[in-house]
Amino acid sequence: MTSNPKKRSALGKGLGALLESSSSDNSTATAPAVTPTAVSGGVALIPISSIEANPFNPRTNFEKDALNELKDSIAIHGIIQPLTVRKLSKDKYQLISGERRFRASQLAGLEEVPAYIRVANDQSMLEMALVENIQREDLNAIEVALSYQRLIDEIGLTQDQLSQKISKGRTSITNHLRLLKLPAEIQLGVRDNLISMGHARALVSSGDENRQLDLYRQIIDFQLSVREIEELIRTNTSRTSEETPNVPKTASTPELSTIQEVFKNHLSDRISSKVEIKKTHSGSGKILINFSSEVDLNRIIELLNKTQ
């Protein structure tokens, strides 16, 4: 079959380049065997429009800048690692793994992508998707924990079986699963990188939900380290939930100077939005500007740009 030069060039210097040089001794040992048509069990070039996303993918957030970087790389070099799909019908496929590459390929305007083709029912597909994503993708701690929990609940694995399947220690699995006991607000904070997994692990054993949320907000407001929050929890282990927390010195809020108060009020009046200045004793801190909507944010940006 004669290949389409336009579509072949869309693969750039990635898998397409390897395939074109597959007759050489240097490339045949590493390049996957690709067929121009989709054959179950092999690798083929598949129209990207024929692939639908995987509803079982544990990753829910795709960082925009990283996705654009991958898009630029694919546009230049092509796809080196094929996607993995399952065949639904003659011309329809569902993604098992590789959703970041799939999305970036769409952004890069590729018409075809190389893919391993597998036949799998929903349960085995879910297991493959979860295991491959845990091992290959940079999931945040909550996404990893949710993947572990789904493998336990929906596949029926024990923690020991899961440990063997993904080559992770049982302690690591247990620590991740414990994060799912935290209030939703804290889980979202881990997902959005507002606090680290170390912070979250400390909060798990800090008390009831109200206590956990109180400590979580102190971490955010006062930029507490993991050691500081552990010390705060340790010094309050014998206190009841009604008692006032024994907040360490680093968690007290330094007062603003007169000049800083005037600046805060002036800026708030200038942009017609609430402005907060939060300082730490080390001299660092942050200026927070509140906005109510995308339109309100654009209004504030426009006002600030006019002052430059």
Confidence check: pLDDT of 116 > 80: yes
Show Cβ contacts of residue 27 under 8 Å, excluding neighbours closer than 6 positions.
Answer: 18, 21
Report, as an integer, the average pLDDT of 127-144: 76
Q: E strands of the chain, at which residues?
A: 34-35, 43-47, 51-52, 83-89, 92-97, 112-118, 275-279, 285-289
Active-site residue (options: 20, 99, 132, 185) = 99
Give the pLDDT score at 100. 86
Confidence check: pLDDT of 261 > 90: no
101-139: burial string, b at 16+ Cβ within 10 Å, e else? bbbbbeebebebbbbbbbebeeeebbbbbbbebbeebeb
Give the pLDDT score at 262. 73
* CATH classification code of 5-121: 3.90.1530.10
What is the DSSP pairing of strand 34-35 with strand 43-47?
parallel
Give the pLDDT score at 249. 42
Cα torsion at 19, 21, 26, 32 (round to 10°)?
A: 10
Confidence check: pLDDT of 247 > 60: no
pLDDT digits (tens, 9 = 90+) for 12-61: 344 444 334 333 333 233 334 444 444 444 678 999 999 998 776 666 66
CA angle 68, 73, 74 (to 5 degrees): 95
Query: Within 10 Å of residue 282's Cβ, how many Cβ atoms?
Result: 9
99 part of the active site: yes
Question: And the tokens for 270?
Answer: 């200038």
Give the pLDDT score at 307. 56
Give the pLDDT score at 113. 94
pTM over 0.75: no
Question: And the tokens for 222?
Answer: 């006062």
Instruction: Specify the higher pLDDT residue, 227 or 243.
Output: 227
Give the C-alpha distances (Å, rounded to integers) separating 179 from 219, 284, 306.
16, 30, 45
Give the whole-angstrom CA distance, residue 164 versus residue 159.
Answer: 9
Confidence check: pLDDT of 282 > 90: no
